[in-house]
Structure 1
């Protein structure tokens, strides 16, 4: 269990953004969404049609919801003009993705096994099926819609890889330039391997209940002072899931755990055990078993990964240019609802 102060809800659809078709300059540089021509017939539940294929309002709502969440992370409310522009950008992005999906279907096939594997990965980001379902509901995405989006994303991803990324030429000079520009990204901060024993005590508990928890952790501390094995005590007494591993939490860096826990951990030398530490989870005894100093990942260690990354990025850029040409020829009707 990571003792992080908050567990952010992953944006499931954003997980598929590796195949996003926004142009290098962002969505604002894309062709603006325009209303359907007078000859186009509006259909219930449809936001747009692309070469005769429908784009559902449900997809638009989910995309707009995601875009608004991301925009609000700046801490400033969106103006009416910004919301209006965002709506146009979202529907245009859906149109562009539909065009590319149609193109991908001409040469790519996605199997049920591939879809199921991707869904398994997405679900694995959540603690339970309930948490996963709640995240979908918050983004207004039904399970069937998610499955369809996964199939489309994989189809586009495979198409970009086969038609663009695999053919992209990336030199060692390109890779070094990227590494040099982004050195901070390859910095690995100091890490400490931690184990702990937790006796739960929630903030809302009465004094008697919290007192009993405090007494229990003090008794465990005495056992440690008597040289009893920390790992064995963790397995016996800890109320954290890590108890089954002797309290081992693995290597931790700053910002990953609750602040009082972090402050106590990072002053310990390997082999030392902290005094009793209180957090919102309860009372802890923390042991440091190893320490890794801050370092920078050597270029040679990431060279191959960066080559793949840059090939993918170049593939996305070339695909974006390609889709721009297809967009000009596509038969598109957009039924953007009134605000």
Structure 2
């Protein structure tokens, strides 16, 4: 992903272990949630909104979480009333307290090894195009490598405790698994897919008419070779200016909504083995070949049974963890001091 997309992704991960007390058990979610560390948290000691067994929750982090949730609500088109904002502020800080308690409990009950931390960091880095992009993201967020490593340890401890202490002990029946599958059949539908190959001769909107005509001649020459029964794959390797040229033009199976609309319309109009006429998109001139087609299907229950069982065990583990943390909350030393409403 580019720099802009990388930082957008960081912003989206703030929801990890947040106000609704959802316990993240997905490895990817756990890893990406480390970017919940804010510049203020990493570099200075701001005012605090709560102290949980001696651990401080900063006002900056509280405001950031509150603003995030308010934006979500506003996007629904239903503005919050004053009383709703007051209640939301209380729920947000309480959620952050419970999150901190969960982390504290996890660190006392499970051991996260250096190897596990290193593997988690490796997976996190793989979400970026290069080591430099990853380092730049940390620099932009003002997160030190040491702070990142500590947060990875904390989030992995949570994941590990939920799995070992709660999810692994949860019981799920076949009846529950079927009920989940039946309720969510629409989610298990796989839309029609077409496998495509193409030959691309690139153009640029800034080109003059002469240069664009040269590109058109190139693609027309390729089309002439195809009409002489020359092999599509070989011609793609020889002439296409798309990265897929090395694979004979093959771009794999695609669903509607994944490609540029003109390309997609031309592709889905083809039967397997058919080749389109020359068509144009903002990328340039294309010749498209459909090589296979898969009709819409619903993934069979048996193919999903084990995955649904795991999901339901995780959900039950989450519920048990929430109940456990509620008990711990009653025994913890917690001081809350909400800042004045703006």
Question: Does TM, scored on the shorter chain, surpass 0.5?
Answer: yes
- Give the equivalent residue in structure 2 for 1:174: 176
Paired with 2:282 and 2:81, the residues of 1 have a C-alpha distance of 40
Deviation at 1:287, TM superposition (A): 1.3
1:259 to 246, 261, 276: 261
Task: Summarize the Cα distance change of 1:122–1:67 in structure 2 as closer, same or farther, 3 Å threshold.
Answer: farther
Deviation at 1:56, TM superposition (A): 4.5
Task: Summarize the Cα distance change of 1:23–1:105 in structure 2 as closer, same or farther, 3 Å threshold.
Answer: closer
Q: Report which stretch shifted further, 160-169 or 113-122.
A: 113-122
Paired with 2:86 and 2:210, the residues of 1 have a C-alpha distance of 56
Paired with 2:6 and 2:277, the residues of 1 have a C-alpha distance of 30
Task: Summarize the Cα distance change of 1:241–1:72 in structure 2 as closer, same or farther, 3 Å threshold.
Answer: farther
Paired with 1:61 and 1:219, the residues of 2 have a C-alpha distance of 62
Deviation at 1:281, TM superposition (A): 2.3
Task: Summarize the Cα distance change of 1:69–1:21 in structure 2 as closer, same or farther, 3 Å threshold.
Answer: closer
Deviation at 1:68, TM superposition (A): 5.7
Deviation at 1:222, TM superposition (A): 2.0
Paired with 2:276 and 2:309, the residues of 1 have a C-alpha distance of 44
Paired with 2:293 and 2:21, the residues of 1 have a C-alpha distance of 43
Paired with 1:207 and 1:49, the residues of 2 have a C-alpha distance of 68
Give the SS at the match of 2:285. Answer: strand
2:97 to 95, 98, 122: 95
**Cα contact 1:104–1:156 (8 A) shared by 2:** yes
CA displacement, residues 248-283 of structure 1 (integer Å, 9 cap, x when unaligned): 111111111121121111111111121223223222
CA displacement, residues 22-61 of structure 1 (integer Å, 9 cap, x when unaligned): 257xxxxxxxxxxxxxxxxxx6354432100123456546
- Give the equivalent residue in structure 2 for 1:319: 321
Matches for 1:235-254 after TM superposition, within 5 Å:
235-254=237-256
**Cα contact 2:59–2:339 (8 A) shared by 1:** no
2:231 to 211, 229, 232: 229
**Cα contact 2:109–2:161 (8 A) shared by 1:** yes
**Cα contact 2:21–2:98 (8 A) shared by 1:** no
Deviation at 1:243, TM superposition (A): 2.0
**Cα contact 1:12–1:136 (8 A) shared by 2:** no
Q: How many pairs does the alignment contain?
A: 315
TM-score by structure 2 length? 0.78
Matches for 1:63-78 after TM superposition, within 5 Å:
63=65, 67=69, 70-71=72-73, 74=76, 76=77
Paired with 1:72 and 1:132, the residues of 2 have a C-alpha distance of 32
Give the SS at the match of 1:219. Answer: helix
Deviation at 1:336, TM superposition (A): 4.5
Which structure ranks higher in relative contact order (CA pairs < 8 Å, sequence separation ≥ 6)?
A: 1
Deviation at 1:294, TM superposition (A): 0.9
TM-score by structure 1 length? 0.78
- Give the equivalent residue in structure 2 for 1:29: none
Paired with 2:139 and 2:74, the residues of 1 have a C-alpha distance of 19
Paired with 1:281 and 1:147, the residues of 2 have a C-alpha distance of 42
- Give the equivalent residue in structure 1 for 2:117: 115
Matches for 1:188-337 after TM superposition, within 5 Å:
188-337=190-339
RMSD over aligned CA atoms reads: 3.4
Deviation at 1:127, TM superposition (A): 4.0
Paired with 2:149 and 2:74, the residues of 1 have a C-alpha distance of 27
Can you give the 5+ residue segments of structure 1 that lack an aligned partner in the other structure? 2-6, 25-42
Task: Summarize the Cα distance change of 1:240–1:131 in structure 2 as closer, same or farther, 3 Å threshold.
Answer: farther
Paired with 2:232 and 2:211, the residues of 1 have a C-alpha distance of 25
Can you give the 5+ residue segments of structure 2 that lack an aligned partner in the other structure? 23-44
Give the SS at the match of 2:108. Answer: coil
Deviation at 1:209, TM superposition (A): 3.6
- Give the equivalent residue in structure 2 for 1:11: 9
